[in-house]
Every structure is written in structure tokens, then in C-alpha cells.
Amino acid sequence: MSNPVYYADVVLPLNLVQPFTYLLGASPVAVGQRIIVPFGKQKFYTGIVLRCHQTQPQRYEAKEVVFIYDEPPLISEIQINFWSWIATYYATPLGMVIKGALPSSFLLESQSVVALKPSAETAEDCSPLEQKIILALGEGPLSMKALGKAVERVNPMSGVQKLIQKGILELYQQVDEKYRPKFENHISLAASYLKDLDALHPVFEGLSKAPKQKSILLTYFDLYTPDQPLVSQKLLLQKAGAKSAALNALVDKEIFETHQIQVNRILFSEDVEKQALQALNTAQQNALSAIQQAFEKQNTVLFEGVTASGKTEVYSHLIEQVLQSGKQVLYLVPEISLTTQLVERLRTYFDSSLKVYHSRYSLSERTEIWEQVQQSDPSAQLILGARSAVLLPFRDLGLIVVDEEHEASYKQNDPAPRYQARDAAVVLGQQTQAKILLGSATPSLESFFNAQQGKYGWVQLKERFTGVSLPKIQTIDLKEAHRNGAMQGAFSNELIKAIKTTLEAQKQVILFQNRRGYAPQMTCGSCGYTPQCSQCDVSLTYHKYDHQLRCHYCSFQMQAPHQCFACGMSTWDTKGLGTQQLQAQIQNLFPEVEVARLDWDSTRKKGAFEELFNRFDRQEIQILVGTQMVVKGLNFANVHLVGILNADQLMHYPDFRSHERCFQMLCQVAGRAGRAEEPGQVLLQTYQPEHPLILQVQQYDYSSFILDELHQRKTFEYPPYIRLIQIRLLHQQLDVVQQAAQWYANVLNSYQIATILGPTTPGVARVRNRYIQEILIKFKGVSERNQIKALLPKIQQSFDSIAPFRNTRVQVDVDP
């Protein structure tokens, strides 16, 4: 008997459908272990072991593994199972999921560029290779290839990885200015005094003539603890009521030392006082018990609670219990940079266990949190993050809270994997027995449907915590206002009057205009009519270049009409009004007040959002004009009036979810008014005040709306009654992409498994120089889904072999 020879099936972080088999030799490796392997011409990648076995591959000769990391498996079986589900369900190679889930510092490859860390201490006990690497990088960052030349090694990766682990090297990356780590000055007592506090007596006496300095020193002792001698400089000066000159004097006297400490940019107020959880009121207590009972029977519970009912407090009670049991908790939010108030609140309860995870943090920050989660570090037992946090390597997850579960941003559009983090969380819950709580005031139709069908538990909380009734929503008929000449720009006289009254009462105003996902439409400026597709029940999209109206789903198209079908006027508007123009208009109407704008453009600069937010909170700004950013998680006590400039734009967005989104957003916007003691006021401008959706919004009647909407979805065959997969093809030449899409649609059609719609041209027909065509696959059951998913790679293979279609990108989007 000869000795056994081992092979490993390795998944590489690349867009490859199959894992590759590599030769290990005499010793096996564990599943989930990291290894470096050659791939292609002189390229190396870090891969993850999926399987270790003794079967030699049939179709090719296995190449030898280059390096095996000397560490326990990086990826646990939990992650391999979960990521594999994502890969299969979202029709994406597992390698792409791994690439999305693992910080790139774990995935060194031959194209990686590395640099010495500026702060690195000189290295001790380094191997000769490691020393050579340090020397070579002393001149500046190098690619792995150049570094290999410099140290005369084809592959210096193993040495590089060791040095990264030792904190001497880092992957070099151009850090986005917005997300640079943020440093703040901290103060500590000089080391000699920290060791011997009695030595401070003469110092105090010496300060008798410098009261400010003395006060700083005394304040320092209020703030410091023996195991945390560092105190934020800002906080110290603020509490001592002193200026930095006094502090500098103490530093000069070598009583204090200054330190630059990297702070988490989201946790902008340095210090929180830990507080016990709020006691729940009866309604909240009942909801909590109901949730706990439901969890005994079901993994997933939908928690439907009106705005300001105190869902967050209920979550917090659940979280505390799970943390006490020693398990990990994930708190998902739609958009992390808009959650400053939530972070503050969670910190007061869970500061020492809470970490915020953001996909746009620096690589080293992400790596650090990733490792803490993987090691079940108590300081990261509770993770607050946006959708990508669901991919973190939880070991022992007890609970996932998906807050505002209806939000569209839980879906990743680009790049692959195009996953829905809420749905993925539900699956992760099934795989790991973690409990999943989906919270929302206006649940998604999908979750509502699942709750209705008994798939999820379902708990409702209908009272607002403060008992304040929801603000009254009053509509303003834009048709009539236009007819009567009662408009100034985009503002009706009625709205202007209400703004004026509000400002006179020293209250603040929020004006809302949605622009996100803006699609060109034709809307009649006189009556507000927007042409619809008769088959798909969505608005038609206006294409300027050929003056056509098209359906985004089926291939219906028509010449754009001259006159409105509804009122016969020729007053088409195809642009819609941006927040910038609105800001200008309102500033013109109220030249003496401070108006600010909150949208992605105005908050791109680092810290801009926080600043705007703080200024509005301090009432230095009276009117805030914004996109849906104004509605997310913000809670300003002094806002009395919310004005919605044009509800119709939201309603007519060409998407089958536009009514659902419209309702959700209008409710959320309305919820911004008058959250404190007195009810607020909401004015909603619309061309269709009699539209059922608007009437239901006015009543906050989400259940009636959902029942109507479910009926529509059933009639026109949309989710949750059927499932969708969208195929998107992109190419630089229009005729190529059109032919390619037609070919693809024909092939799909020939199998007769599902309804194939399209190819069609989307509203935004060309992105980054590439023309886009879309095909929609509609189908009912699981077996159709599996058939289609099995087909797609085969179709893709034939597609790839057609020469004229080369360089056409094909993207698959499951549950778009």
C-alpha cells in the first residue's frame, strides 16, 4: 500500500462556477481552511477549502498548492452552508459570495499591492524572508509581483501574510476620502503619575495660581478610570469649561500626555452614560411576550408596529436577553450612515458589546470587526450594520433584528451576489436556529403575505408610545391649484401659508421630494396623468432620443403623444423637479429663513450629514428640503409641518412595487411631523387626491391598502404570487445587445418552463457606455425555479460560444 495522496477542492474568489482541485500531498487540510494556489499564468490566489479527498481529478492534472495557512479554518461550516445557499439561490458563483463576504486582507492574490504600516513598530523575530520584505517595502508600496522580484521569490505571499498578521504590513488601497479613519486627541496622565498618584500632591499645590489647569486636572479624575486612563480632549475641556491653552500648559509641564486615537466615525459623541433599558408600557410588554411566544413555534416573526410605538425599545429588551444568554445578535438597518440617533440609543444600553459595521469602513476596521465576530469577542457581541453585515462570520447567533424590513436597500443590486439581506437573514435563521425579527410600520408585501399564510409569526403594536395621535394628512389638489393659478413654482398657496404659520410659531418644516431611482416619465402638468401600460399596470417610461414611451416589463411601446389622453392639454413635463431647484424656490419665497438641503449630493462630504443633522436639531435651520434621506430614522421634536411636494411621482415610478413603496414612504415622511407632545401637520400635494392609495394613506390604513395591492399583484402576476428572475445584458453596441437579448429570450422561451417577458429597454437605457436590455422570467413554483436555475449556466455556455456576442455582460438578478 502506498501512502495516501490528498487533494483539496478549492473555491477561489473569482467568477467561476466550479471549484478547482489542487494537489496537497501527504497531509490533509480542514474544510474552511485558507490556502494559496496558482491559477492561470503565474497568478496566485487565496482560496477556501470546500472539501478534502483522495480522488484525482479526471479532466486535468491537479496543480500543487503553494501555501497552507497555519491557522484553524477561517471559515466555519455555518458560513460555508449559508454562503452556498446565497450562491445557489441568487445564481452566483460561490467565489463571488466569498469575495463579497471576506475583507480582501484575507484574500491576498498576486495583483495585491502591499505597504508598510506607517505606525508599525520595528519587527522582532522575523524570518529572513520577512526581513527582506520589510526592507524592500521601505521604499514604498509594491505589487506582489514586484515584491517577488525584489526578494527573489516567485511568490512572497506567505511572508506577506505573516507580516500582515503581525501588524507590520497592510494591503495598500486608495481610501475614499469620506471614509478615512478619524482620529481624535485623547489625554492621559503621564505614565509616571499613573503609576504613583501620590506624586501628584505637589503638582496640585503648584497649580494653586492656575485655577483653569487645576480644574482640568480635577475633571480628569472625574472622567478617568484606572483601566481607561485615556479621556477625550474635547470632553475634558468641555466638562472643565477650559480652553486648550490651559491644557497645553499641563502637557508642557509633562503632567498630561496627548494621544491620537482612532475613533469610530459614527459614534460621534464620545461618552455615553450607560442606562438600564426603559421599562415597557403595557402594550409594548404584551408585544414582547407575544414575540417570545411566537418564537417558541416559529423562527421568524413579523413585528408590525406603527411609527413611534417604541419598536426599538422592544427590540432592545429582546437583545438584552439574548446577549445575557451569551449568544450573538445582529441588528440590521437599511442605511447605516443615517442611524446616528439609533447608535446613540443602543450605546446607552449596550455600549461595551456594540460594534457598528459598515461596508465602506476602511479595510483594517472591517478586518478587525470581522475577526472579533468570528472569535465571538464579547466587545462585538451585538453588531449593528447594513445589509452586508449578514455575511459576517457569526459563530453563535441568537437573534437577527431586521429593522424597517420593507426597505428596498436590503437588496444588493451590484455587484453580484445580488442578494436580499432580509430574506437571507431568514434563511440564516433556519440554518442556525437563530430567531429572526422583522420589524416595520409598513411591512413589505412579501413578509405580510408570509405572515398571513402562517409561515411567520405575526405581532402587532398599534399604539404610539407617547399616545400622540398620528399627524393628520391633508391633501392639496394640484389640478385645481394649477387651474386657479394658485401655485408659485412647485408650491401651492396653501402649502406656503402653512409654512409661514409654522415658522411664525417657531417650529420647523420638512419638505419632501423624492428623486431616487428617478425614471423619466411623461406627466401632464395640467392634470397629472401619466401614461400606463395596459398589460403590466406600471407607468410607461419616456425615452427622449426616439420620443417613445415604453413599458419596462413587457415590450409594449408607442410614440409619445402630443396631447394628454386624460385632459387633452399639451403640457407634458418629462423632467420632474429636483431638490436643488426646490431649495432655490423656497429660499426665494422665504428669503429671511435658513433653508438647507439633505440629499446624497449635499452630504457627500465627510461629516456633512452629521453637521446638517446637528444644525437642524439645534434649530439653526428652519426648513429642510430633502429626498427620502429626510425620512430615515430621524426624529426631531420641533418639526411641526411636513410638506410632500408631489406624491404622484412616487406613485408612478415604473416598477411593480411603486404603490407599495409610495405608501411606505408617505407614511414614513408623515411620521416626521410632531413626534413630541403636540400632533403635527402633513400637507400632501397631488394631482389625484381621490386616488384610493392617497385616501388609504390619509387614513393610515395600511391593511386595506395591502389587501387591495395583493389583489392587484395576483391579477397582474407579480410577487408574492409568482417569482421573478431578471436577466440583464450589457454591451457597448446597441445592435449587439439587442440581438444577444433576443437570442437569450428565444432560448428561454423554447423551454416553456416560465413566462418570458421582453427583451425590453429599461428607463435608464445606457449606463457607463453600455446599452442595456432586460428580460423578465416569471414563474410559480419551486420546481420551475430549480429548472430555470439549472438551465441558466447551460444557456450561458452556449451564449459564450457565439462569437458576435462576446464581451456581452450577462447579469442574473433573482427576486429583483
State the nearest-atom distance from the C-beta of 765 to Zn ion, in Å. 16
What sections of 671-805 are H helices per DSSP? 692-698, 702-715, 734-751, 782-800
**If binding is defined by CB under 5 A, does position 533 make contact with Zn ion?**
yes
Q: What is the identity of the amino acid at 609?
A: F
Instruction: Round to whole Å and give the CA distance between 759 and 756.
Output: 9
Q: Using CA atoms in the order 113, 118, 120, 122, what is the torsion angle rounded to 10 degrees?
A: 100
Instruction: Using the rule CB under 6 A, give the single segment among 77-85, 160-168, 274-282, 774-782 that binds ligand ADP.
Output: 274-282
Left (φ > 0), alpha (ψ -120 to 50) or beta: where does 42 sit? left
**If binding is defined by CB under 6 A, does position 668 make contact with ligand ADP?**
no
Among the listed residues 144, 280, 332, 812, the single contact to ligand ADP using CB under 6 A: 280
Choose the contact partner of 533 out of ligand ADP, Zn ion, none; CB within 5 to 8 A by kind. Zn ion
Q: By three-state DSSP, how is residue 551 classified?
A: coil
Kindly tell me the burial class for residue 271, based on how many C-beta atoms sit within 10 Å of its own C-beta (0-12, 13-18, 19 or more).
middle
Q: Yes or no: say if 808 and 740 are a contact pair by the CB < 8 Å rule.
A: yes
State the nearest-atom distance from the C-beta of 572 to Zn ion, in Å. 20
Give whichever of 614 and 742 is closer to ligand ADP, judged by the CB atom: 614
The b/e string for 683-711 (b: 16+ C-beta within 10 A; e otherwise) is: bbbbbbbebebbebbbebebeebbeebbe
Give whichever of 334 and 528 is closer to ligand ADP, judged by the CB atom: 334
- Please identify the residue of the shown chain whose CB is closest to the bound ligand ADP: 310
- β-sheet bridge partners, residue 116: 169
Using CB under 5 A as the binding criterion, the count of chain residues that bind Zn ion stands at: 7
* Residue where the block lists cell 446565497: 86
CA 81, distance to chain mean position in Å, is 23
Among the listed residues 110, 312, 420, 602, the single contact to ligand ADP using CB under 6 A: 312
**H or E element at residue 305:** strand 300-305
Choose the contact partner of 307 out of ligand ADP, Zn ion, none; CB within 5 to 8 A by kind. ligand ADP
String of contacts with ligand ADP for each residue 450-489, x by CB under 6 A: ---------------x------------------------
**If binding is defined by CB under 5 A, does position 551 make contact with Zn ion?**
yes
Instruction: Round to whole Å and give the CA distance between 813 and 89.
Output: 10
Output the nine-digit C-alpha cell for 672: 416626521
Q: What is the identity of the amino acid at 232?
A: S
Output the nine-digit C-alpha cell for 109: 492574490
Q: By three-state DSSP, how is residue 361 classified?
A: coil
**If binding is defined by CB under 6 A, does position 281 make contact with ligand ADP?**
yes
Instruction: Using the rule CB under 6 A, give the single segment among 19-27, 100-108, 304-312, 607-615 that binds ligand ADP.
Output: 304-312
| Contact set for ligand ADP, span 510-529 (CB under 6 A) | none
Choose the contact partner of 459 out of ligand ADP, Zn ion, none; CB within 5 to 8 A by kind. none
Among the listed residues 151, 160, 301, 536, the single contact to Zn ion using CB under 5 A: 536
**If binding is defined by CB under 6 A, does position 442 make contact with ligand ADP?**
no
Q: What angle do the packed helices 702-715 and 658-670 form, to 10 degrees? A: 170
Among the listed residues 187, 308, 647, 682, the single contact to ligand ADP using CB under 6 A: 308
String of contacts with Zn ion for each residue 553-572, x by CB under 5 A: xx-x----------------
Instruction: Round to whole Å and give the CA distance between 655 and 671.
Output: 25
Instruction: Round to whole Å and give the CA distance between 262 and 117.
Output: 15
Instruction: Using the rule CB under 6 A, give the single segment among 263-271, 275-283, 406-414, 514-522 that binds ligand ADP.
Output: 275-283
**If binding is defined by CB under 5 A, does position 535 make contact with Zn ion?**
yes
**If binding is defined by CB under 5 A, does position 67 make contact with Zn ion?**
no
Choose the contact partner of 312 out of ligand ADP, Zn ion, none; CB within 5 to 8 A by kind. ligand ADP
For the beta carbon of residue 547, count every other beta carbon within 10 angstroms. Answer: 9
State the nearest-atom distance from the C-beta of 436 to ligand ADP, in Å. 18
**If binding is defined by CB under 6 A, does position 311 make contact with ligand ADP?**
yes
Instruction: Using the rule CB under 6 A, give the single segment among 89-97, 279-287, 374-382, 656-664 that binds ligand ADP.
Output: 279-287
Distances (CA, A) of 220 to 189, 199, 223, 232, 238: 8, 16, 5, 10, 11
Give whichever of 312 and 502 is closer to ligand ADP, judged by the CB atom: 312
**If binding is defined by CB under 5 A, does position 75 make contact with Zn ion?**
no
Instruction: Round to whole Å and give the CA distance between 634 and 281.
Output: 23
Choose the contact partner of 311 out of Zn ion, ligand ADP, none; CB within 5 to 8 A by kind. ligand ADP
**If binding is defined by CB under 6 A, does position 336 make contact with ligand ADP?**
no
Instruction: Round to whole Å and give the CA distance between 559 and 564.
Output: 13
Which of 350, 378, 380 is CA-nearest to residue 365? 380
Residues that bind Zn ion in the complex, under the rule CB under 5 A? 533, 535-536, 551, 553-554, 556
Residues that bind ligand ADP in the complex, under the rule CB under 6 A? 278-281, 284, 305, 307-313, 465
